[in-house]
Amino acid sequence: MKRLPRRRLVILLSLPTLVVVATGFAFVTAAHAARAKTVVMVPEEDRFEPAFITVKAGGFVRWINSDEDGHTIVSDDFFNTTGQNHHVDMELPGTEDNGGQPTSVTLNFGKPGIFVYYCRFHSHLDEAHQPVAPGPDGGIQDPNGNYGTPMMGVVVVLPGNA
């Protein structure tokens, strides 16, 4: 893969909508992002909607953050079987940091498998590599130490072309 000069990379990263391909982490065009038939929304609250989706290999998934707070898309290599060789940790800035406009990231899934992801601000992994919700001081904690539903999701990538 050809490396971009730093100057171009900085310009690309400063765009309001950051688009990334998970297989190799190459930048894709806005046209590829527009091809994303599967969209995961972050509404004006801390959750991914829908939390569970299915796409075919070669398909694009686009996450759109409409919340004023920032979120992230973080994969756990322990559960990631879609062929990504790197830990995915992408920022999804909130509307407050983007002039009131939603932000988005798009990933392309080239190989069948399972992609488990979570927001590192609103989840963390326990010793069994399971996402659990972080707890605020004084929060209500269950017997397992969890403070509620973590902000997480799953992408199942099926064989076949999108």
HEC assignment per residue over the chain = CCCCCHHHHHHHHCCCCCCECCCCCCECCHHHHHCCCEEEEECCCCCCECCEEEEECCEEEEEEECCCCCEEEEECCCCCCCCCCCCCEEEECCHHHCCCCCEEEEEEECCCEEEEEECCCCCEECCCCCEECCCCCCCCCCCCCCCCCCCEEEEEEECCCC
Q: How far apart are CA 84 and CA 110, in angstroms?
A: 9
7-65 pLDDT, tens digit per residue, is 333 333 333 333 333 333 334 556 666 667 899 999 988 889 999 999 999 899 999 99
62-80 pLDDT, tens digit per residue, is 999 999 989 999 887 666 7
> For residue 29, how many other CB atoms are within 10 A of its CB?
9
Q: How far apart are CA 57 and CA 54, in angstroms?
A: 10
Q: How far apart are CA 46 and CA 126, in angstroms?
A: 19
**What local confidence, expressed as pLDDT, does residue 1 receive?**
42
In the numeric block, the tokens 């990379």 are attached to 9
Tell me the average pLDDT of the chain: 75
